[in-house]
């Protein structure tokens, strides 16, 4: 049985994780070093170069080696996001921001990569000794869990932002109201 997608898909997944991490780091720019988005973008560029040059170099290798090479890039992208998460928690001392970053970036990226790796391993006829076969209900459970975490994080962030905006508006209204009574 052949897999439903080529192993280079994991390089593409790693590129997406690097670029998504870069966007999230830009959104929370006050909590991260200035050069981190550029470093993540450089990782995505390296993956793009690997993706462009891959067919010339990877086709000579067996399917197992192509998979491990491509999966290593996706795992590298996840490790970069995890390192950013740990930086926020331990160096900056912001566990709440680190938890939000973990829920919105680190865990969904890790779970989706695990989902696709399990799907690939279940669909390939060659033996991949380092990765176990996972049953399909577990694979879909991972996918649903990652999706639920993303949705919960989106709702929590928008709800908190909405409360904060209403507090700012109340403060502005009270400030303008006190100024009009002074005049």
Task: Answer yes or no: is 2 within a domain.
Answer: no
What is the tens place of the pLDDT at every residue in 102-155? Answer: 888 888 888 888 888 877 877 765 555 566 666 777 777 877 887 787 777 767
For the chain, what's the residue count?
183
Contact 17, 43 (CB under 8 A): no
Contact 80, 40 (CB under 8 A): yes
- Distance (Å, whole) CA 146 – CA 115: 9
Q: Which residue has the tokens 């409360």?
A: 163
Task: Answer yes or no: is 136 within a domain.
Answer: yes
What is the tens place of the pLDDT at every residue in 24-33? Answer: 888 888 888 8
State percent of the chain over pLDDT 70. 74
Higher pLDDT, 170 or 138: 138
Task: Answer yes or no: is 1 within a domain.
Answer: no
Q: What are the C-alpha distances in Å from 122 to residues 2, 114, 134?
A: 10, 12, 7
Task: Answer yes or no: is 173 within a domain.
Answer: yes
Question: How high is the mean pLDDT of the chain?
Answer: 79
Task: Answer yes or no: is 4 within a domain.
Answer: no
Task: Answer yes or no: is 85 within a domain.
Answer: yes
Contact 88, 100 (CB under 8 A): no
Residues 58-86: b if buried by 16+ CB within 10 A, e if exposed = beeeebeebbbbbbebbbebbebbbebbe
Name, in order, each residue with C-beta under 8 angstroms of 114's C-beta and a sequence gap of 6 or more.
142
Task: Kindly report the pTM of this predicted structure.
Answer: 0.69
Higher pLDDT, 105 or 159: 105
Q: What range defines the domain where residue 118 resides? A: 9-182
Specify the number of domains making up the chain.
1
What pLDDT, on a 0 to 100 scale, did the predictor assign at position 158? 67
- Distance (Å, whole) CA 86 – CA 92: 9
Task: Answer yes or no: is 3 within a domain.
Answer: no
What pLDDT, on a 0 to 100 scale, did the predictor assign at position 167? 60
């Amino acid at each position: 049985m052949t897999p439903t997608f080529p192993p280079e898909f994991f390089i593409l997944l790693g590129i997406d994780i690097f670029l998504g991490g870069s966007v999230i780091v830009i959104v929370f720019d006050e909590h991260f070093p200035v050069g981190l988005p550029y470093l993540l973008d450089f990782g995505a560029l390296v993956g793009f170069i690997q993706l462009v040059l891959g067919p010339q170099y990877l086709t000579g290798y067996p399917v197992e080696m192509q998979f491990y090479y491509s999966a290593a890039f996706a795992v590298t992208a996840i490790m970069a996001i995890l390192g950013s998460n740990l930086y926020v928690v331990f160096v900056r001392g912001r566990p709440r921001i680190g938890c939000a970053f973990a829920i919105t970036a680190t865990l969904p990226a890790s779970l989706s990569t695990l989902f696709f790796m399990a799907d690939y391993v279940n669909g390939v006829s060659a033996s991949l000794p380092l990765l176990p076969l996972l049953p399909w209900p577990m694979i879909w459970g991972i996918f649903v869990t990652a999706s639920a975490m993303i949705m919960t994080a989106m709702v929590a962030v928008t709800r908190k932002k909405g409360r904060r905006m209403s507090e700012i508006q109340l403060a502005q209204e009270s400030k303008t109201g006190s100024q009009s009574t002074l005049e």
